Structure 1
Amino acid sequence: MSAARIAYSIVRTELNLDDLAEFIEWVDRLDGGGVSREEYLSNHPVVVLGRCIDARESPEAALWIAKSISKGFNIQKILDEPCVNTAVLKRREESKLIEEIINRSLRIENRLAIVRFDGTGTRTGGYRITALVGDDCDACMIIHGEEKGEISGPIPPLGASFYTNSFLHSNGGLVDLTLLATAFDSNGGGHSNACGCRIQPLDLEGNIENRPSTSADIERNISHWIRIWNENQEIC
């Protein structure tokens, strides 16, 4: 059950939320990990809306959508609104770039899909990778950020995110991915099926060095994460 479903169930006991009925089932699936691969890759209007609207990037569109839902507008009327349609078209163009990066950098190591988005100025999530790779992976690793990035700055630092292929393993992955996220970064972690960390400065043996991380450290981190993945795959 997603956080959205919990909030919906509580609030609807006090308020009429019939206007949200068209959306909540899809929000629940997308937010709670219950969406199928076919549904995620579909062009269902709610999926399109969720895929294309980010309140941080399109605050005007997000506010208009919130007000429209409260007024009882249906999904198609919302998508037809110029400010929303503009955001959707922009996201579709960005999606083409993301797909190019995936096709160019994707590799699979013992059913662990690895994609490098570092230095591209963009990123994507685990759903996108595992949906495209399908049953050929049990989990994915996404490298992102910039060498000159900072945690507190506008440009994110080099980092990695790990996601179980929930389309294939709906009840949890084969490996606790926090083993990878916490291997070198004491601040890394998250959920066993979705977590992340920063790229760490490593020597060739995998020891942490006292220096800033660089792009040269990425493959060193990846090679040790693959080793940890393989060791725990064998245990499974």
Structure 2
Amino acid sequence: MSAARIAYSIVRTELNLDDLAEFIEWVDRLDGGGVSREEFLSNHPVVVLSRSIDARDSPETALWIAKSISKGFNIQEILDEPCVDAAVLKRREESNLIEEIINRSLRIENRLAIVRFDGTGTRTGGYRITALVGDDCDACMIIHGEEKGEISGPIPPLGASFYTNSFLHSKGGLVDHTLLATAFDSDGGGHSNACGCRIQPLDLEGNIEDRPPTSLDIERNISHWIRIWNENQEIC
């Protein structure tokens, strides 16, 4: 159950939320891990909207959508709005670039799909990777950010995200991903099926060094994460 579903269930006891009915089922699936691979890859209107609008990138458009839903607009009326249509077209172009990056950098190590988005100026989520790889992976690791990035700055630092293939493992993955996210980064974490951390500066033995991380550290981090993954796969 998603956080949106919980909020919806509470508020609907006091207010009429019928206008949200066609949205909440999809929001629950997408946010709560209940969407199927076929649904995620589909062009269902709600899926198209969810993959096209990001409140961080388009706050005005996101606010317009929220107000339109409160006014009873249906999904097609929202998609037909010029500002939304423009966002959908832009996201479609970005999607083509993302797919190129995935195809170029994807590798699979013991059913762990690894994709590198670092230095590309873009990123994607675990659903996208696991949907494309399908049953050939149990989880994915996505490297993202920039070598000169900073947590408090406009450019994100080098980092990694770990996601269970929920299309294949709907009740939880085979490995607790926080073992990877906290292996070197004390601030890393999340929950067992979706978490992340920063790339850490490591020496050849895997010890943390007192210096800023560089792109050369990425493969060192990855190699140790693969080892942790393999060790815990054996336990599972």
**How many aligned residue pairs are there?**
236
CA RMSD of aligned residues (A): 0.6
Residues 105 and 115 in structure 1, CA contact (< 8 A), matched pair in contact too: yes
Q: 1:82 offset after TM fit, Å? A: 0.3
> Aligned ranges for residues 52-63 of structure 1 at < 5 Å?
52-63=52-63
| In structure 2, distance between residues paired with 1:150 and 1:233 | 33
State the secondary structure of the residue aligned to 2:35. coil
Q: Say which SS state the counterpart of residue 87 (structure 1) adopts.
A: helix
Aligned sequence identity (%): 94
Shift of residue 66, structure 1, vs aligned partner: 1.1
Match of 2:126 in 1: 126
SS in structure 1 at match of 2:103: helix
- String of CA shifts for 1:80-114, please: whole Å, max 9, x gaps: 00010001100000011000000000000000000
Q: Could you tell me which runs of 5 or more consecutive residues in structure 2 were left unpaired when the two chains were aligned.
A: none
Write out per-residue CA displacement over residues 172-221 of structure 1, whole angstroms, 9 at most, x where no aligned residue. Answer: 00000111001111111110000111001111111111111000000000
Residue segments in structure 1 that go unaligned for 5+ positions in a row: none
C-alpha deviations, 1:131-159, integer Å up to 9, x for none? 00000000000000000000111101000
- Aligned equivalents of 1:150 and 1:61: distance in 2? 27
Cα distance in 1 for residues equivalent to 2:48 and 2:12: 26
Q: d(CA) in 2 for partners of 1:186 and 1:67?
A: 40
**Aligned counterparts of 1:55 and 1:143: Cα–Cα separation in 2:** 23
Equivalent in the alignment of 2:204: 204
| Distance in 1 separating the partners of 2:212 and 2:65 | 43
Deviation of 1:64 after TM superposition, in Å, equals 1.4
Report how far residue 59 of structure 1 moved: 1.7
SS at match of 2:157: coil
CA contact (8 A) 1:60 1:83 kept: no
Distance in 2 (CA, whole Å) between partners of 1:63 and 1:159 is 30
Q: Is the 8 A contact 1:202 1:220 kept in 2?
A: yes
Maintained 8 Å contact 1:113/1:141: yes
Distance 2:70 2:203 in 1: 56
What is the CA–CA distance in structure 1 between the aligned matches of 2:152 and 2:221, rounded to whole Å? 23
Q: CA deviation at 1:52?
A: 0.3
Deviations 1:55-77 (A, max 9, x none): 12112211111111111111111
TM-score (structure 1 length as normaliser) = 0.99
What's the offset of the Cα at 1:20?
0.3
What is the alpha-carbon distance in structure 2 between the residues aligned to residue 140 and residue 181 of structure 1?
13
Question: How far did residue 49 of structure 1 move?
Answer: 0.4
